[in-house]
Each structure stands twice: as structure tokens, then as C-alpha cells.
Amino acid sequence: MKRQYAAVAAAFVFCLSAFAGCKEHHEMHYIEGSAPTCTEAGTEGYWECSLCGGRFSDRAGEHPADAVVLPAPGHNWASERRAESCEEEGCLTMTCLRCGLETEEILPATGHLFGSWELSETPTCISPGEEMRTCAYCGRAETREVEMSEHVFSKDNVCSVCKFEAVSTEGIDCSPCEGGAAVSFTGAAREEVVIAPYHDGEPVVAIAENAFYGNETLSALSCYAHVRLIGKSAFRGCFRLSSVDLPDSVEEVGEYAYYACSGAASLAVGSGVERIAPNAFYRMEALERITVSEENLSYSGEGNCLVERETGKLILGCGESVIPDGVREIGDNAFLGNRLIRSLVLPASIERIGDAAFFECGALVSVTYLGTREQWEAVEKGARWKDYAAFDEVIIAG
């Protein structure tokens, strides 16, 4: 250890002697400094002796100096902004006043911020209304049509607003039921049937059981009554019906009510429907679309599917169905005989596929399950759940 200290001391003495030895005879040259930039540090210039390596602030070598670093000052930004709008991008340009560096940032369009829709023209039973909303940013106004309101009928079936008279088609019969009258049809074959809101002064509140059962000519129904119940087999086998519309007044749809309405392309479910019998809509083979009022508390129409909200059970599918995540069961006969559906993706949330769920789906060539093989094996499959469907095996994607 003592030897190490001695060596260091000797080296120090040597350096001092060397420095002292060329004190009067330095061979000096100037080392240029460098100015700092916005992002890089600079240094001050100094004098250096080529003999001893000493660094000095003066040419005579009388004032030793340390290296002086001049820190980078950073950019001195000036900004210019082209403001964005609801529909057009903006731009923020930044220019450094020192070095001239320029950057640009695209400011995305804000999009409109519309307020709530407000009625600007009241609808009537003879003309639609209009509602409007305005963007809080740019003041742009949008309008949309409001559907015509319903007629206001008195017991003589005449609208008190526009004086339109609703006349039931010949052959419409009525029978007493709870709360009013239930209609049925025994008349001659017709493509369109009209149901008036009152019969002998009593409100029509139901379509009776078997009311139009097997009617092979009926293609459209104009019902002015506030019907609450669609009875069992009321329209069973009416294969020429082009659509099925359940107005907000309907609360219950009975068994087989629209069974085998094979020509109907759309089903619309109003806000008041609380109960649909499990087999009310089976064998609607041409069904393309399903819509359900957003105000309906019992059923959802998400993904063109009819789903019970409480149970997560899909009770009816159609040609455009996309099964929502969260559906736990595909009910018995849910897609039975649908000839339009070509492919389906089953979410991993499904726990059961009911009896004949995809029976005779002759165009259904592809079914994919988003869970694992183990999960798929655990899914309960009902009897004949895919008999006579076009797909062979389910693709496991998980």
C-alpha cells in the first residue's frame, strides 16, 4: 500500500516539474470553441500547450482554465394554428426562432356536437311532423321526419281530427272478451283486411284464436284497433303475409300465432310486448330482419335476433342474424327452416343449443364457435339441433 502511495506522489511531482519546466516556454495554440445549438451543448475556446498539455484562458499561460460547457438552450418555439372545425382537420405549426426547425401536428376534426332533437312541426294523422337539432360548435341544423300520429277514433270509427272513417272488411266477426272485443275472419278470400277500432261501440282489443288460420290469400293487414293480444294460431299458415308488425299496444303473442308465415321478410316488435310464446314465430323461412323497440323492457333485437333480456335466450333468428355476446341459449327451433342464413358465429357465452335450433337450414354452410374445444364439448345440444343443415362440423376458434 505504501508503495502505491509513493508511486502516485512521484507521478504528481513529475507533472508539476514538467509544468514548471515549460512555464516560460509554452508552445501555445488556440482551441476553437463551439457555439451551442438548440439541442446540443457547446464549449468555450481555450489555449493549450503542446508540450505539457496545460489548458489556459490566456495566451501567456498564466491562468489555468477548466473546460467550460455551454448548455443547449432548447428550442424557442413560436406557434401558428389553423383551427380545426366540425368536418375539417386543423394544423398546429411550430417554428423554432433560433434554428428554424419546423414541425406540424394535424388536429383532427372535432365532429358535430348536436343537441337533443326538438319538435319543430307537430305531426298529425294526415301529415308527418319534423324535428330539428343544432350543432353547438358550428350551428349546423339537421332535420328529420316524425311519423304521422295515430287517428283519434270515436266509437263510430270516425277520426275526430281528419274525419277518416275506418270500415272493417266484410267478414270480420267479433266476440266479447275481457276489456272489449276479439276479432276473427270468416269472409271471402282477400289479400288485404281492415280491422276497425270499435265493434258495436266496444273497443277491439284482441285477435281471436285461429282468427286467420290457414288464410292463403292474406298479404296485408291494416289494424286501427289498439290490440293487446294476438291469440293462439291467429295467423298460422298465412304464408303470403309480407311482414309481421306488432304495434306498441300488443302485450302478448300466443302459441303458434305466426307459425309457418313463410313469406314474411321482416318482424317488428313494439315497446309493449311482454310475453311471446316460445313457438309463436317458428318456420318463418324467409325472415331477413328483426327489429325490437328500444323501449321494450322484455325483449331485445340486437344483431337481428329476438332475445329475452332476463334469460339471455335467443328465441328467434333470421337471415341477417349476428348473435350478440352474452346470449346464453339458442332456443328450440330458433332458426328452424330459415332458408337465408348462410353463416353464424356463436359466442363463447352460449351454454345450450335447443332442439332443432338449426333444423333444415339448407343454406347454413359455416358455423364458428368462439370458445375452446373443451367449452364447446360442455355446451348442451338438443335433439336434432342441426339435422338437415348445410354445415357438417363447427369451427372452433378459441
pLDDT tens-digit series, residues 300-329 = 999 999 999 999 999 999 999 999 999 999
What pLDDT does 187 receive?
86
The yes-or-no verdict on residue 14 having pLDDT over 70 is no
Distance CA 216, CA 241 (A): 9
User: How far is CA 209 from each of CA 113, 167, 227, 235, 339, rounded to the nearest angstrom?
Assistant: 51, 22, 13, 9, 28
Distance CA 87, CA 151 (A): 42
Domain positions in the chain are 2-70, 77-107, 153-298, 301-398
Contact 234/259 with Cβ under 8 angstroms?
no
What pLDDT does 23 receive?
54
Q: What is the mean pLDDT of the chain?
A: 91
* Domain boundaries 153-298, CATH class: alpha beta
Dihedral angle sign, alpha carbons of residues 387, 393, 395, 398: positive
Q: Model confidence over 334-392: pLDDT tens digits?
A: 999 999 999 999 999 999 999 999 999 999 999 999 999 999 999 999 999 999 999 99
Which residue, among 259, 232, 255, has the nearest Cα to 244 in the 3D structure? 259
**Looking at residues 2-11, what average pLDDT do you find?**
40
Mapping DSSP onto H, E and C, the string for 138-157 reads: CCCEEEEEECCCCCCECCCC
The yes-or-no verdict on residue 1 having pLDDT over 90 is no
The yes-or-no verdict on residue 11 having pLDDT over 50 is no
Instruction: Indicate the length of the chain as a whole number.
Output: 398
